[in-house]
């Protein structure tokens, strides 16, 4: 396989790094990803996650990531590697078995779709917005362990989702 082309980091990623440095933060990949995906200021997402239990300088548990997304009016819909790979040109559609963090740059016709994706790699999460990877992994081949499309939720959908969650929790309590 040919060498991965060197690609510069996005302006949004650079801005988040500056804010991170100012706050003496580290282990904040989820904060940066959610800020990029929801177009919310870094400081706002940082504060929301801290209020939800995220510890300063530490990674973010998944439940805090999901609850922050929901609080900002978004939800995550699971996407599978195969959904992207089957759209790749030529033999890539049959030869590749997994998605990596450089695929948005390598296959822009597939990824530049106007959508927002949260991608998880081992011990890391990142934002891909309209085909642009807003992370240090841009241009690197870090294998995706999970991909979620991030979509805005209407107030009616949010109400229905909250009712379903409450119903599910009640069923779980009843089974115990």
pTM here is: 0.83
- Rounded distance, CA 147 to CA 126, Å? 10
Average pLDDT over residues 127-137: 94
> Domains of the chain, with CATH numbers?
11-175 (3.90.70)
**Segment 66-100, tens digit of pLDDT:** 999 999 999 999 999 999 999 999 999 899 999 99
- Identify which of 11, 28, 13, 7 has the alpha carbon closest to the alpha carbon of residue 141: 7
121: β partners: 124
The 10 Å Cβ neighbour count of residue 134 is 23
- Rounded distance, CA 19 to CA 43, Å? 8
Q: Are 102 and 4 in contact (CB under 8 A)?
A: yes
124: β partners: 121
């Amino acid at each position: 396989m040919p060498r991965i082309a060197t690609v510069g980091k996005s302006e949004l990623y650079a801005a988040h790094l500056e804010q991170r440095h100012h706050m003496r933060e580290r282990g904040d990949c989820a904060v940066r990803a959610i800020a990029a995906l929801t177009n919310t200021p870094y400081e706002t997402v940082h504060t929301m996650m801290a209020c939800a239990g995220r510890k300063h300088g530490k990674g973010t548990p998944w439940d805090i990531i999901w609850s922050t997304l929901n609080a900002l009016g978004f939800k995550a819909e699971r996407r599978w590697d195969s959904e992207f790979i089957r759209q790749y040109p030529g033999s890539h559609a049959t030869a590749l078995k997994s998605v990596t963090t450089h695929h948005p740059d390598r296959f822009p016709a597939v990824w530049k779709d106007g959508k927002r994706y949260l991608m998880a790699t081992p011990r890391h999460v990142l934002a891909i917005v309209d085909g642009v990877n807003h992370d240090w992994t841009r241009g690197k081949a870090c294998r995706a362990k999970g991909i979620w499309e991030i979509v805005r939720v209407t107030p009616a959908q949010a109400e229905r989702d909250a009712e379903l969650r409450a119903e599910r929790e009640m069923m779980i309590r009843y089974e115990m």
